[in-house]
Chain A
Amino acid sequence: MDSRIANQFILASIEVFRKTGNVTLKKTGLEYFPSSQKINAGIATILGVTGDIKGQFIITLNEQFAMKVASAILMGVPVNTYDEVAESAVCELGNMIGGEASRLLHEADLKCDITVPSIVRGKEMEIAFYPVAPMFIVHFSCEWGPIDLILSFDNKSKA
């Protein structure tokens, strides 16, 4: 996977958090996995990428974090339970990061679109892509807690 693609997703994540509640997202680590990996998260939103770049990205976070995102989007209205509103906020977070990354990639002449997000819930998940593809996990932290971005793109992508 070309580092330019990963970098646009990292930059997009930082920008979306800055605009959503003025939160500073800090990159705390980057890991590479050749096939699959077990993660402890709670919630994962999965989005596909199509066009010049083909692959998927996944955002993993916990319920507390999701409620903070929902509250920030709602301009400070408290969200104290993980419900349809908080879950919708997680999907929208995926849309916004994907949308911003797509905009940045367009500027680099890589045209791509983002598919509709889906949600997976569970304490321990094993993430794998088929056909088997390597993945990068980018670890971030901010005042709301930890959040990870999992990236896997087809080697045949234009980049």
Chain B
Amino acid sequence: MSKKILVVDDATIMRLMLKHLFENNEFTVIEAINGKEAVDLYATHKPDLVTMDITMPDMDGITAVKEILKIDPAAKIIMCSAMGQVDKVKAAVMAGAKSFLVKPLQPERVLATVKQFLG
């Protein structure tokens, strides 16, 4: 059975890009358009990994990381954000994210990071 990845991003183009990339590498993809929807979908689907944007409406990515970790302290969450300054990276790691990728995303780097956590 293929591993399940929850892609969280308010930008249609980024969800589409990650969906293509993951599905072409035999992962199953679920999509959320903001942090709140991500928390709800995580509770329902229990994905193997989450890619999480930071700046989103309704609930931002850092808050969503904290909420998901309340549901599942072992959740594997990789931040994918255009905001790569040190304070954002620190905030994400302090919240419990496992890794941080800065946009523009490099497909090979994304896949290597995902595989590092999914084995």
Contacts and interface: CB of A to CB of B under 8 A. Distances in A.
Interface of A: 16, 19-20, 70, 73-75, 77, 84-85, 88-89, 91-92, 95-96, 98-100, 102-103, 106, 111, 113-114, 116
B17 interface: yes
Contact of A85 (B13, B21, B57, B87): B13
A92 B9 CA distance: 11
A116 B33 CA distance: 14
Contacts of B87: 106, 111
A85 B57 CA distance: 19
A34 to B, nearest CB: 31
A77 B12 contact: no
Interface residues on B, range: 20 to 34
Interface SS of chain A: helix, strand, loop or mixed? helix
A103 B84 contact: yes
A74 B83 contact: no
Interface stretch (B41-49, B69-77, B103-111): B103-111
Query: Top 9 A-B pairs ranked by shortest CB distance?
Result: A99-B82, A88-B12, A88-B13, A106-B85, A19-B104, A95-B82, A89-B13, A20-B104, A103-B85
